């Protein structure tokens, strides 16, 4: 059965801390892995990863994929209260179907 597992389920950190969110997957016919940030309702796109070992970076956020070990990490450095959200990982297969993890809830305390 195809599945995406995220860890930890929730995380509470102080402003300025660095966090690493994990996403492991077992999805046949992998095409891409995507990270989303969900604050209230609509998830907003962060990164799409298709190749192993190539880091994607956007400001304080970065992500990398390991297709051999079937996982990805999302790093957030110098966290701010505005980073508080649920971070979703999704894997798309070549049949255009997305599988989502249940998310990691991040709370950044001032």
Provide the minimum distance between the beta carbon of 27 and other proteins in the complex, in angstroms, as a whole number. 12
Q: What is the dihedral of CA 98, 81, 107, 62, to 10 degrees?
A: 40
**49 makes contact with other proteins (CB under 8 A):** no
CA distance 29 to 11: 31
Binding of other proteins at residue 34 (CB under 8 A)? yes
Residue 92 within binding range of other proteins, rule CB under 8 A: yes
Residue bearing tokens 């957030």: 76
Given 24, 25, 43, 108, the residue binding other proteins (CB under 8 A): 43
- Give the binding range for other proteins (CB under 8 A) out of 10-18, 36-44, 64-72, 76-84: 36-44
Q: Can you give the three-state secondary structure of 12-79, one letter per residue?
A: EEECCCCEEEEEEEECCCEEEEEEEEECCCCCEEEEEECCCCCCEEECCEEEEEECCCCEEEEEECCC
Determine, following the binding rule CB under 8 A, whether residue 68 of this chain makes contact with other proteins: no
Q: Which stretch binds other proteins (CB under 8 A): 14-22, 26-34, 62-70, 75-83?
A: 26-34
List interacting residues with other proteins (CB under 8 A): 31-32, 34, 36, 41-45, 48, 88, 90, 92, 95-103
């Amino acid at each position: 059965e195809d599945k995406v597992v995220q860890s930890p389920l929730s995380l509470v950190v102080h402003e300025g801390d660095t966090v690493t969110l994990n996403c492991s997957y077992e999805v046949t016919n992998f095409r891409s892995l995507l990270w989303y940030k969900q604050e209230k309702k609509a998830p907003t796109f962060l990164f799409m990863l298709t190749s192993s070992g190539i880091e994607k970076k956007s400001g304080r956020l970065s992500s990398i994929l390991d297709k051999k070990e079937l996982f990805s990490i999302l790093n957030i450095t110098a966290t701010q209260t505005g980073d508080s959200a649920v971070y979703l990982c999704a894997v798309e297969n070549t049949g255009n179907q997305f599988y989502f993890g249940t998310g990691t809830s991040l709370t950044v305390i001032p």
